[in-house]
Amino acid sequence: MGNLINKHQLKNFGVRTAGTLAVPALFVVVIFIICAAQGVMVLTSSSLFADFVCYAAIVTLTTFALSINLGSGRFDFSLGSMATLSAVASAQLTYSMLGGGAGSGIVMLVFSVLIGAVAGAFSGGLYVILRIPPIITSLGVALIFEGITFVLTNGTYIMSEVQNDSMTLFRTQWYLPAVIILVALAAVYFLFDRTKFGYDYKALKEGQKVSINTGIREVPNAVWCYVICGALMGTVGFLQAARNTYISTNVLNFGSISVMFTAFLPMFIGGFIGRFSNDKVGYLLAGLSMSLLNSLFAQLSLIGIIDSSSRAIVEAVLLVLFLIFLNNEQTCRDLVTGRIFKKWAEAARERKAAKHSREDK
């Protein structure tokens, strides 16, 4: 009996591990094959590895933020504008205090998280007060935040405010964005998987009406979700400023919305991985996979095989293929195991039998 349990546990562990690592492993294998075919290499220096971790942090945290509200049916277009506004305001505030001196990076990060959280509270507050669909409120909020960003900067790039030794560390030392990823992962895991707030969130996600009838308060839960999203996007804004060494404020008229779309593919991949382990771990693995893909795109771009427009097409095709896979998972599984051919043969036999039966009659 003990052996049986162990076998089951072992099998279960094997399935969970395989399911968790399947997509990232597929990414690694495909990227390795493309690299070998094209004679290029990725992550060949410590600075490129640091860039890889920094971009992974940006994608992972954006995916966390997107999935929190989208999982509850709240489509949030204002994520990008929150990131830009937080980064711009925190950069200006930090620069006015420290003038780009020692500690500017960490101070800006703290301000960016706080401003992001406030922006998230505003967005969530507006949603629960107005009680109109979040897809509409978030569009309005995006425009407001983009407008505030423009007013704060007079439309100019933010450059000197984020170009200092302290900020450079977050771009060149891989462990700093890695620590940010781990802290964000731990915080999101704790909040959503280990607290009453998280249990309420999950209950509301699964059955809103029933949850409310059992006494769960939807409004504060929704507002806190927005606050957490804002804090995450504040961090994303900071990381983007550190990585790009400037902040583009050309975001009027929904110019900030595209940030959200970078997280769609990793969100679906993360959701799939989450079925075998934990969705947050899934988002992290998906973020790492996307960052590896980004490193490949950079190398292919340098040898003239791909450019930004063809990259967008490749990413869109990947997203569509993954959605097709998710919607036809059983068929795909049958295809891999060969069971689909048995089903086809069986169906053919049934058709034949039915035909004979009609002829006999």
- Which positions touch another protein (CB under 8 A)? 44-45, 47-48, 51-52, 55, 153-157, 159-160, 163, 168, 243-246, 248-250, 252-253, 255, 262, 294-295, 297-299, 301-304, 307-308, 311
How far is it, in rounded angstroms, from Cα 53 to Cα 348? Answer: 52
**Cβ nearer to another protein, comparing 254 with 276:** 254
Shortest Cβ 254–another protein spacing (Å): 12
Q: Measured from the CB of residue 138, what is the shortest distance to another protein in angstroms?
A: 21
**DSSP-derived 3-state class of residue 1:** coil
* CA distance linking residue 61 with residue 59, whole number of Å: 6
CB of 37 to another protein, least distance (A): 16
Question: Taking the complex as a whole, how short is the minimal distance between the CB of residue 135 and another protein, in angstroms?
Answer: 24
Query: Which residue lies nearer to another protein by CB, 154 or 357?
Result: 154
Orientation of helix 79-98 relative to helix 218-244, angle to 10°: 60
Nearer of residues 55 and 122 to another protein, judged by Cβ: 55
Residues 82, 149 contacting (CB under 8 angstroms): no
- Among residues 23, 18, 65, the alpha carbon closest in space to that of 269 is found at 23
Q: How many CB atoms lie within 10 A of CB 156?
A: 11
Decide: helix, strand or coil at residue 247: strand
Nearest residue (CB) to another protein, 169 versus 281: 169
Q: Report in angstroms how near the CB of residue 294 gets to another protein at its nearest.
A: 5
Whichever of 14 and 99 has its CB closer to another protein, that residue is 99
CB 346, min distance to another protein, A: 48
> Which residue number, 93 or 314, has a Cβ lying nearer to another protein?
314
CA angle centred on 116, ends 115 and 118, rounded to 5°: 65
Q: How far is the CB of 23 from another protein (least distance, A)?
A: 20
Distance CA 97, CA 105 (A): 12
- Which residue number, 188 or 247, has a Cβ lying nearer to another protein? 247
CB of 130 to another protein, least distance (A): 26
CB of 276 to another protein, least distance (A): 28
Cβ-based nearer residue to another protein, 69 or 249: 249
Distance CA 79, CA 62 (A): 8
DSSP string, 161-226: GG-SHHHHHHHH-THHHHHHHHHHHHHHHHHHHSSHHHHHHHHHHH-HHHHHHTT--HHHHHHHHH
User: What are phi and psi for residue 247, nearest 5 degrees?
Assistant: -120, 125
Which among 9, 27, 10, 29 has a CA at the least distance from the CA of 270? 27
Q: What is the phi/psi pair of residue 45, to 5°?
A: -140, 165
Closest to another protein by CB, 51 or 279: 51
